[in-house]
Amino acid sequence: MTATRDRILDALENLLVDQGISRVTLENVAAAAGVSKGGLLYHFKNKDALLAGLVHRLGERADEQVKHAVGQGRSLAEWYLQNPDSSNESDALELALYRSMVAAMRTVDAHDQRDDQVQQALTAVMDAWKSGLDAEFEDPVHAEIVRLVGDGVYLRALLGLSPIDPDRYREVVTRLLNPPSSGR
């Protein structure tokens, strides 16, 4: 059953990344996943539940990647500030997360309501990351700066803008993770 659910979410992700939200219908996702519409509805009761399922999976993939990073001695902040440049040392988990992030961002266009399932799922994922960063820094403003820089780096990548100079970005990350002492 999990394999079918993942196949449906993979099909949704591919449609979102390759063709955009306008091509996402229950029929198109079911066809791309190789299941009947009834089979899709067994796992996701409607389009909002399907899109929310994708965002939840994004959170699960991020959690996996954070656990992996922490297991290698990195902090959440280091993970959050990583440059999502797929030409670097990216492994399959990072590429899957990046692709999920692109797809999740494309779901936002389809929803105006603040209380729908997709918005709630996206808010929960972002809030979890924010809470983790808040816990790593004594200064909540510094945690917020780290979060905003990480968000900006991902936004640049999502928009397809030219990559940040790797040496300069390494300096930025070093400064954010080891801020200079204030003379106050």
Q: Where are the domains of the chain?
A: 1-45, 51-177
Answer yes or no: is pLDDT of 112 > 50.
Answer: yes
Instruction: Give the position of tokens 């389809």.
Output: 110
Answer yes or no: is pLDDT of 184 > 50.
Answer: no
pTM of the model: 0.72
CATH of 1-45, one of 3.60.15.10, 1.10.10.10, 3.40.630.10, 1.10.10.60: 1.10.10.60
For 144-156, b where at least 16 C-beta lie within 10 A, e where not — what string? Answer: eebbebbeebbeb
Summarised one tens digit per residue, pLDDT across range 141-182 is 999 999 999 888 878 877 778 878 889 999 999 999 987 665
C-alpha span between 80 and 74 (Å, rounded): 10
Summarised one tens digit per residue, pLDDT across range 30-84 is 999 999 999 999 999 998 889 889 888 888 888 887 888 788 888 889 888 887 6
Answer yes or no: is pLDDT of 90 > 80.
Answer: no
C-alpha span between 100 and 10 (Å, rounded): 9
H/E stretch holding 127: helix 117-136
Our CA angle for 24, 20, 117, nearest 5°, is: 55
Cα dist from 64 to 59, 69, 109, 171, whole Å: 9, 9, 27, 27
| Ordered alpha helix ranges (H), 1-46 | 2-19, 26-33, 37-43
Say what the alpha-carbon torsion angle 93, 105, 60, 152 is, to the nearest 10 degrees: 70
